[in-house]
Amino acid sequence: MKLSAFTQSTAAIALVFSCQAGAQSVEAPAPAAAAPAPAAAAPATAASAANPAEVGPLTIAADKPGAVINRDIFGQFAEHLGKGIYGGIWVGPNSKIPNVRGIRSDVVGALKAIKVPVVRWPGGCFADEYHWRDGVGPRRKVTTNTTWAGSGEPNTFGTHEFMDFAEQIGTEAYISINVGSGTVQEGAEWLEYMTATGQTTAARERAANGRTAPYRVKYIGLGNEMWGCGAPYSGEEYVTKMKVFAHFLHNYNPEQAAPRVDFSVIAKDLMSGKPMDSLPSNPKSMQRIAAGPNSSDPSYTEVIMKAWKARSPIYWDINGISLHQYTWGSMPFNEPSTGFGEKEYANFLMQTQWMDRTVRKHVEIMDRYDPKKHVALIVDEWGVWLKPEAGTEQMHLIQQNSLRDGITAAMNINIFARHADRVRMTNIAQMINVLQAMIMTDGPKMVLTPTYHVYKMYVPFQDATYLPVTFNAGQYKFGAISLPRVDALAARGADGKVYLSLVNLDPNAETEVAAEVPGVAASRAVGEVLTAASFATVNTYDAPNAVQPRPYSAVATDGKLMLRLPPHSVTVVRLEP
């Protein structure tokens, strides 16, 4: 996102209204899952007392596996914005803060613990004003970050530093190419610089700057928000420009090379009129992601997928379309990140559910043009967007992160997992010190947020196989807002174990659920539960463990696991025989 100066602010507000108006026009569907956990029950309020519907028995269909929950669904996003890079990741090699080649070691350790699969960089809206040569070589060009508050941009964190960071935490790179103010040649030369081998000029230049081996680039983004800060373009205008970038941006890393194409076979197919879905591919090949829709607006998805259907993959192709949708509350920059009440809590959970409706809307369009699901839906910006903390630069988007925000993260992940056949990567905004961050830093201090703890609890779901869950989700009601009382996600992990995520949305009462897995013997469940005294509880530098997971276990009675959920909690368990 880009929000600097009046014109950008009004554009963002327009985005908010388009998101909310569209979402309110359709009733948000109830999640298809349920859950359980421990802790003393809080006294019920009038709101909860008015909704006595209990959660019904929960059944996991382990014999009906669905899609693989791609580990990249748990991706991150790091933009040159406020303290997201400088102070968050980069402190410089001469800093007293422990670091490796300028990258702070505490942050690296924390991110390795949640097994970050992919990081999107350098933006965001910053990407469409970023010129990569400013950030390579011994003499960096100092520029102004006009995208975000006119802050100085020293470019000390550039291509080599980002790739070093990615390798230190063990993640893949998702590079967002400058399509807005850049050229096809600039983008092609950047990719060549990163991936070329041998004695090419690009490879020699990279080696002179400290890196002999080519970098691995798993994803490239063909622009960002081309309906807004990236241009703006109509869908048709963007597709015309995007196709050229998709055609000329090549990855030269031998590890990612595509198989040789037998053009004699292709020629026969083309002459016979046989449709060609795609060319032969290497599973390690780079994937191209088109800049897609603004929230529930279908126009970009329709135009891009129509063009994709009519394409010849010999000339251009894409592997995904991006989607951006935030949870704003009543208005961006206005909803407090601390000290809020149940009204705000319930409203944010309701808006979080709108993600399911948005995903379904775009999936329906994509299915018409691509029933074999070659093109993924990539939700590469999402999360809660709240009022910046007092005393901070408004456009640096520094906000606190509460237990409520951790709950919304779990709900969103569950939604993405249910659509794992089409949603194959997401990137929460953002990783450090910006919006719904995993980590907050202040000089040498670091604190882990409730959202971070949710991501760590969900590690077993990376590359797990989705398992359908059925149950009566019950009801949590506050005023006119009515939500499922419990949300759940089940999957068979790479270790062969069955995992169950359980979210109790009700902030006033605990819930007990009887769970069973026909055909799977389970005598107990072990894992962790994340909760706190209040849904508004946050972790601070003075109290860094106010919200943290604690051990959880449950036992089976008469063949059913009896699971108790504390109010406003997230529980993840592993079923044991």
| CA dist 453 → 415, 438, 439, 446 (Å) | 18, 8, 10, 14
Residue 263's pLDDT is 74
Residue 330's pLDDT is 81
Separation CA 437–CA 399 (nearest Å) = 8
Quick one: which H or E segment has residue 326?
Answer: strand 320-327
Residue 39's pLDDT is 32
Model pLDDT for residues 123-149, shown as the tens digit of each residue: 999 999 999 999 999 999 999 999 999
273 — pLDDT class (breaks 50, 70, 90): low
Q: How many CB atoms lie within 10 A of CB 240?
A: 12
Residue 114 has pLDDT above 50, yes or no: yes
Amino acid at position 114, single letter = I
- Is 451:401 a contact under the CB 8 Å cutoff? yes
Q: ω before 122 within 30° of 0 (cis)?
A: yes
Lowest mean pLDDT among 13-27, 53-67, 221-235, 420-434: 13-27
Separation CA 508–CA 17 (nearest Å) = 31
> Tokens 């373009």 identify what position?
233
**Mean pLDDT score, 104-128:** 98
Residue 423 has pLDDT above 80, yes or no: yes
Residue 54's pLDDT is 76
DSSP string, 440-474: EEETTEEEE-HHHHHHHHTGGGTTEEEE-EE----
Tokens encoding 64: 């009906």
CA angle (212, 214, 215) in 5-degree steps? 120
Q: Which sign does the torsion angle of CA 108, 112, 113, 116 carry?
A: positive
Separation CA 507–CA 528 (nearest Å) = 18
Instruction: Please provide residue 16's backbone torsions phi and psi, each rounded to the nearest 5 degrees.
Output: -60, -50
DSSP string, 274-309: ---------TTS-EEEE---BTT--HHHHHHHHHHH
- In DSSP terms, which residues pair with 478 in a beta bridge? 481
Residue 41's pLDDT is 28
- In DSSP terms, which residues pair with 552 in a beta bridge? 527
Of 403, 393, 455, 453, residue with least CA distance to 428 = 455
The residue annotated as part of the active site, out of 79, 129, 192, 225, is 225
Q: C-alpha dihedral over 350, 354, 355, 356, to 10 degrees?
A: 110
Tokens encoding 253: 């890393």
Tokens encoding 384: 């809660």
DSSP string, 102-151: TEEHHHHHHHHHTT--EEEES-SGGGGG--GGGGSSSSPPPEEETTTTTE
Residue 260's pLDDT is 82
The rounded mean pLDDT for the chain is 89
**Mean pLDDT score, 276-299:** 90
Residues 6+ apart with CB under 8 A from 306: 369
User: What percentage of residues in the chain have a pLDDT greater than 70?
Assistant: 89
Model pLDDT for residues 161-218, shown as the tens digit of each residue: 999 999 999 999 999 999 999 999 999 999 999 999 999 999 999 999 999 999 999 9
DSSP string, 479-505: TTEEE-SEEEEEEE-TTS-EEEEEEE-
Residue 454's pLDDT is 98
Of 99, 108, 101, residue with least CA distance to 161 = 101
| CA dist 231 → 106, 144, 238 (Å) | 37, 19, 9
Model pLDDT for residues 208-238, shown as the tens digit of each residue: 999 999 999 999 999 999 999 998 999 999 9
Separation CA 539–CA 407 (nearest Å) = 15
Residue 473 has pLDDT above 90, yes or no: yes
Q: C-alpha dihedral over 464, 550, 41, 521, to 10 degrees?
A: 40
Residue 38's pLDDT is 29
Separation CA 483–CA 352 (nearest Å) = 11
State in Å, rounded, how far the first CA of the chain is from the last one: 47
225 is catalytic: yes
Residue 286's pLDDT is 97
The CATH number that domain 5-30+71-462 falls under is: 3.20.20.80
Superfamily (CATH H level) for 33-68+464-577: Golgi alpha-mannosidase II (2.60.40.1180)
Residue 44's pLDDT is 29
Residues 6+ apart with CB under 8 A from 542: none
**Between 447 and 266, where is the model more confident?**
447
The residue annotated as part of the active site, out of 129, 192, 381, 510, is 381
**Mean pLDDT score, 32-36:** 31
**Between 273 and 116, where is the model more confident?**
116
Separation CA 122–CA 117 (nearest Å) = 17
DSSP string, 134-199: GGSSSSPPPEEETTTTTEEE---S-HHHHHHHHHHHT-EEEEEE--SSS-HHHHHHHHHHHH--TT
129 is catalytic: no
Please report the beta strands in 12-123, taking only residues with DSSP state E, as ranges in sequence order.
Answer: 58-60, 68-69, 75-77, 99-100, 103-104, 118-121
- Is 505:352 a contact under the CB 8 Å cutoff? no
Residue 8's pLDDT is 37
> Tokens 């208005």 identify what position?
331
Domain ranges of the chain: 5-30+71-462, 33-68+464-577
272 — pLDDT class (breaks 50, 70, 90): low
